[in-house]
Amino acid sequence: DSGVTQTPKHLITATGQRVTLRCSPRSGDLSVYWYQQSLDQGLQFLIQYYNGEERAKGNILERFSAQQFPDLHSELNLSSLELGDSALYFCASSATGGAGSGANVLTFGAGSRLTVL
Amino acid sequence: AQSVTQLDSHVSVSEGTPVLLRCNYSSSYSPSLFWYVQHPNKGLQLLLKYTSAATLVKGINGFEAEFKKSETSFHLTKPSAHMSDAAEYFCVVSETSNDMRFGAGTRLTVKP
User: What does the pLDDT look like over B18-71, one tens digit per residue?
Assistant: 999 999 999 877 788 999 999 988 889 999 999 877 889 999 999 999 999 999
Chain B residues within 8 A of A45 when measuring between CB atoms: 100, 102
Q: What does the pLDDT look like over A36-54, one tens digit per residue?
A: 999 888 889 899 999 999 9
Reduce the DSSP state of residue B60 to 3 states and report it: helix
Q: Which residue has the higher pLDDT, B91 or A101?
A: B91
Quote the distance between the C-alpha of residue B68 and its chain's center.
Answer: 13
Q: Which residue of A has its CA nearest to B93?
A: A103
How many whole angstroms separate alpha carbon A36 and alpha carbon A52? 21
CB contact (8 A) between residue A111 and residue B94: no
Chain B residues within 8 A of A98 when measuring between CB atoms: 97
Span B82-92, mean pLDDT? Answer: 96
Neighbours of A79 (CB within 10 A): 15
Q: Give the distance from residue B94's alpha carbon to the nearest chain A alpha carbon, in angstroms.
A: 6
Q: What are phi and psi of B62, to 5 degrees?
A: 80, 5
End-to-end CA distance of chain B: 41
Which of A2, A48, A56 is the closest to B43 by Cβ?
Answer: A2
How many whole angstroms separate alpha carbon A38 and alpha carbon B26? 24
Q: Give the distance from residue A77's alpha carbon to the nearest chain B alpha carbon, in angstroms.
A: 20
Residue B3, strand partner residues: B26
Which of A104, A107, A110 is the closest to B97 by Cβ?
Answer: A104
